[in-house]
Amino acid sequence: MKMGIAGLGRMGANMARRLQRGGVEVVAWNRSADVTRELAAETGLTAVASLAQLVEALPSPRVVWLMLPAGEITEATIAHLLPLLNPDDLLVEGANSYYKDSMRRAAMLQQAGIQFVDAGVSGGIWGLDNGYALMLGGSNKAFELVEPAVRVLAPGPQTGWLHCGPAGSGHFVKMIHNGIEYGMMQAYAEGFALMKARADFDLDLGAIAEMWRHGSVVRSWLLDLTADFLAADQQLEGVAPVVADSGEGRWTALEAVEQGVPAPVMSLALMMRYASQGSGDYSAKLLAKMRQGFGGHALADDQPS
């Protein structure tokens, strides 16, 4: 199989590496040409300098997999590719895009006879060696074109990937996946914070995390990662208490509202991320002033030193 990849960030570059190792011939383009040339020298993939050259270098029906940031960059790149592709070519969109955008894009491309697959990709920096979890949406015909590459990218030819349903379903399932991830991370964080706060027990958090990895019902890859960094540093004094959100947690919470399906854990985990970013600072100041107003309680800055 020969396919194109547009976008060689940490995820895209490692996917290109895994595909080349697995016998898939990759033609790659990146906005920074130096990145493409370096990866070509390392892996033997074909580097091109433009999207037009990327399309020209592929056999029909072409398969072009986008691994670009979600939003405007992906939208602009699809618009750029649209006149370059022929009917029955396939565009795979692998960013963390909103599933409704993927449904819209699929309908737009269908008008030109171009096939579309939305690919939710999970695996991070570990995917190169361990494989990527792949959640894919699109028609059967579209999926069949990219299936050989999916089997190489996944942890195993038969495992770690799923053709979820029609266009949009891959990114929808990935969105819910990330919402669950938010909730799991928040639960671990709160639990370890409670144990750290019990100073009189002098608990070894690294040892506890390592013990839980074996036989406990709360074992997971997230716990594996937690055990590793707690073994090295339990105080985390050099880590800023700010947690970013990619947007998928927001979409999951909005989906819960739209469907009227309760999802309090995922929604509250998202709110905690906002709080870590300073979004709750003003409301906390208001609370402090209200408490001062009705009870005469001192504000934090008024506390005696």
And the tokens for 238? 């050099």
Please give the backbone phi and psi of residue 203, each rounded to the nearest 5 degrees, phi first. Answer: -75, 140
Contact 206, 230 (CB under 8 A): yes
The C-alpha atoms of residue 28 and residue 38 are separated, in whole angstroms, by: 11
The C-alpha atoms of residue 170 and residue 143 are separated, in whole angstroms, by: 11
The yes-or-no answer on residue 141 being catalytic is no
Beta strand ranges found along the chain (DSSP E): 2-6, 25-29, 46-47, 63-66, 90-93, 115-122, 133-137, 161-165
The C-alpha atoms of residue 160 and residue 234 are separated, in whole angstroms, by: 33
Please give the backbone phi and psi of residue 86, each rounded to the nearest 5 degrees, phi first. Answer: -105, 160
Contact 105, 90 (CB under 8 A): no
The C-alpha atoms of residue 302 and residue 191 are separated, in whole angstroms, by: 32
The yes-or-no answer on residue 174 being catalytic is yes
The catalytically annotated residue of 38, 75, 181, 210 is 181
| Residue count (the chain) | 305
Of 171, 109, 115, nearest to 147 by C-alpha is: 115
| Amino acid found at 167 | A
Query: Is omega for the bond preceding 61 within 30 degrees of 0, making it cis?
Result: yes
CB-based contacts of 239-243 (< 8 A; 24+ apart in sequence) = 241/276, 242/276, 242/277, 242/278, 243/272, 243/273, 243/276, 243/277
Q: Which residues are catalytically annotated?
A: 174, 181
